[in-house]
Structure 1
């Protein structure tokens, strides 16, 4: 949860945490499939817990929805998702008789927390600056990069050569994202011109006028879409289709955004095209066939959490209301 929130990327979280923890779990006799499943299921929590680019993309497509409000709305659902993963991991570990290596000494824990404080302060700086109005979410991304660069120089973990490599990878990644956005925008225009959003909307409304069934059908469609489509194109294409329907049935654009991203989080860990699933299996050195059965308990609990976010507005709107953002 913490690493995902810092990086804003579920793939980065799965890669980094899997690479660090998987070897330790293997030494302690943990089932590699169990370890990989825990890593895969929990990695997307960072897409809900700010700062996250998913909400920024959604805000743009949804017509300028407040990013600071979306960020605050994502905290409780993101923590709920992480807590569900913790509970399942704990129960499965207990059933399998897995034990921790040893209890950590208080002094050792305090030292690690002290060393981690400068990095963890990134969340406070970025979110505090955005909510406080010091800078926008886009500017916050630049502040985060500058802060991380300063920390890298202080910790002496970056060289001139690695800095050039980072710039090169960032340019390539940005190019891929921009290409996806441009292609998805073109597809959205074609779909709008062909009347596909209206057809889907009319099709849903012709089935029933019960808001609960409508929201269930929307979740089912989004879950299926998430299995085959990356998060950014999915947001760009399906926000214009489903947002007007959700609003007409009394769901706010903030709650819909959280529900949409939650669905995409689950899509990231589901076959056949889940990017986090493939990365987690690669890092854990296990096959998808072995990991998928271990993921089923996570799927069940996370879908229940998704339904809670869908039908209990307070989970996503409570914190923004408390802070006076709504």
Structure 2
């Protein structure tokens, strides 16, 4: 009965348009009232959910990503990608995917990538004769790569939610190959759609321009090298690396590119505070909701249900993937990670799935939800930047959905894609 109330109130509040964090809190409060549990427990769990040291990395990585966008690093990455890929048919679409992959390596944020690549490339793509829906679909799909390429603050949330301290450094390394695989598959689909629509080819700017673009972009790309190199060498932790990323980005933007002034710095700080507040409130609310699920023994019941159907790890991963894909269409990524990780991780570990591997599966799976209505936040951002209706983008996005699903299947059933790099550096 209590579980029905918990889930029923959540669904009702979400259907009424109540923000996710307050829907989670409302459902938790309603359930605790019925169970006669003091309401102070809800707020203790909320505070405890965000009082985790590793979560300190989230505001810094969000801040670093916004600074990179405002300091012109995204523009330099676009120039490199254009020099490498722009001469093929539909070259600007490939440039979009390539630049998003590189930007993901220094920001780790899908929304930041969609905003940066969208504002930089969408006007140019439409000017060159590309359809607005194509520009939006390529941009939002490629933005998902940023969730896999380190650093990704969602991996930090997963590590904290796991309860077993999945190493953040291992998660960062595990995302590299899956991120590249996803980018390559998206490039193939981007090219095929461009050929089918008859989009134009670009021109190679010459080796001198190519080398110059790379040299100019190197200071920005070094952020990823410094972050991963510092973590792997043990010089600093993943949390400390986030603060170093901010300092490095400020230095590069202000003194190397000289495009980061005081006003842009303040704008980035204000936007990062807003985003961080939303993310941490959602994490805290999801922690309270997860506690209610634990009190009602929902994780154990779900695990028993799944294992009663099958104990085959391949079948269990298929069931979980389908479940997460459905949930991702109705709820944002951060609360789903906090809620579902403690429930699903023990189930997959029981049948031999590595927690690092499962973390990468979750990143891509729930990332697909970010470009799927009705709660696809990245899709809404891309459509807004592209100046088209979400419905118009969804009508033609199915080839890109298919590409992401193919990548999800490969990552799910070929663990070596995720585990080879972490094992190499142990």
Q: TM-score range by the shorter chain?
A: over 0.9
SS at match of 1:228: coil
- 1:99 — aligned with what? 200
Deviations 1:219-238 (A, max 9, x none): 00111111122211111100
Match of 2:420 among 311, 315, 318: 318
Match of 1:7 among 77, 83, 107: 107
- How many angstroms does 1:103 deviate by? 2.6
- How many angstroms does 1:289 deviate by? 1.9
SS at match of 2:175: helix
Q: Contact 1:226/1:264 (CA < 8 Å) preserved in 2?
A: yes
Distance 1:149 1:301 in 2: 36
Q: Which has the higher contact order (CA 8 A, sep 6+)?
A: 1
Distance 2:270 2:111 in 1: 19
- 1:254 — aligned with what? 356
- 2:146 — aligned with what? 46
- How many angstroms does 1:191 deviate by? 0.7
- Mapped pair 1:36 → 2:166: no
- 1:114 — aligned with what? 215
- 2:29 — aligned with what? none
- 2:261 — aligned with what? 159
- 1:132 — aligned with what? 233
- 1:85 — aligned with what? 186
- How many angstroms does 1:162 deviate by? 3.1
- 1:230 — aligned with what? 332
Per the normalisation by structure 2, the TM-score is 0.74
Deviations 1:13-45 (A, max 9, x none): 011101111111111111111111111111010
Distance 1:34 1:312 in 2: 30
Q: Contact 2:313/2:353 (CA < 8 Å) preserved in 1?
A: no
Deviations 1:126-179 (A, max 9, x none): 111011111011100000000011112213323333333332222222222221
Distance 2:107 2:305 in 1: 39
- How many angstroms does 1:315 deviate by? 0.9
Q: Which has the larger radius of gyration?
A: 2
Distance 1:179 1:289 in 2: 30
Deviations 1:247-270 (A, max 9, x none): 111101111111111111111111
- How many angstroms does 1:70 deviate by? 1.1
Distance 2:155 2:214 in 1: 29
Where does the alignment leave 5 or more consecutive residues of structure 1 unmatched? none
Where does the alignment leave 5 or more consecutive residues of structure 2 unmatched? 1-100
Distance 1:114 1:212 in 2: 45
Distance 1:256 1:299 in 2: 21
- Mapped pair 1:24 → 2:124: yes
Match of 2:368 among 266, 273, 287: 266
- How many angstroms does 1:295 deviate by? 1.5
Deviations 1:94-152 (A, max 9, x none): 11111124332221121111111100111101111011111011100000000011112
Distance 1:251 1:300 in 2: 25
Distance 1:37 1:171 in 2: 28
Q: Contact 1:5/1:47 (CA < 8 Å) preserved in 2?
A: no
Q: Contact 2:118/2:136 (CA < 8 Å) preserved in 1?
A: yes
- 2:13 — aligned with what? none
